[in-house]
Amino acid sequence: MKFAFNPKKSAQAAAVLLQRNGGDMDKYLFIKMLYLADRKAIERWEEPITGDSAASMQHGPVLSNVYDLTKGDCPGGRTDWEPFISDADAQTNRIVLRADPGVDELSKAEIAILEAVHAQFKDCTWKQMREFTHTLPEYENVGRGSKPIRTESILKAVGRTDEEVADAARGHWEISVADALLTNR
């Protein structure tokens, strides 16, 4: 199951976290909280908030495009991200909210997930967050490399049966085909 990364919605989700944190946050906690919010959305609706692809990395799971955006990369997403969310500062490793991108792309339920994740993890150190995310069943220790985390792996990790995962994948495929047909009309 692959989703389309939505940089505008991702910036809005990022802004919700940053606003709840007083306008800035450690890059590591920021990336992990967005991952955990997407994970919770996948658990509830079989679809992430950001549409981003997840990956296992040395310090735990990340959202690939969000990770790149915090480093100033991901050219396709910079237009919707850069006016609102800073790159990680090289000295402080902080991400700063530059401006409010609004929340028109986010549902109330998605905002509630973001707020709940922030409330649960806001007081964690990066080491605590690293240790926690390393316990997630979908995470694989890849050393200094990276390996994609499939949405199906997340669904299994949150308790879905093989049959439920197959049904979710089939449903996602059917929606993707319908979208493609309607888009090409």
90-129 pLDDT, tens digit per residue, is 999 999 999 999 999 999 999 999 999 999 999 999 899 9
Whether the predicted pLDDT of 177 surpasses 80? no
Q: Higher model confidence: residue 181 or residue 9?
A: 9
Whether the predicted pLDDT of 84 surpasses 70? yes
Q: How far apart are CA 48 and CA 56, in angstroms?
A: 16
Q: Which positions ≥6 away from 5 have C-beta within 8 Å?
A: 50, 51, 52, 53, 65, 76, 77
Contact 46, 168 (CB under 8 A): yes
Domain residue spans in the chain?
A: 7-159
Query: With bands split at pLDDT 50, 70 and 90, how would you rate the model's confidence at 184?
Result: low
Specify the DSSP element, H or E, that contains 180.
helix 162-183
Q: Which positions ≥6 away from 36 have C-beta within 8 Å?
A: 117, 121, 133
* pLDDT score for 173: 74
Contact 71, 57 (CB under 8 A): no
Tokens of 98: 């530059």
Contact 47, 3 (CB under 8 A): yes
Q: How far apart are CA 68 and CA 51, in angstroms?
A: 15
Residue 123 dihedral angles phi and psi, to the nearest 5°: -95, 5
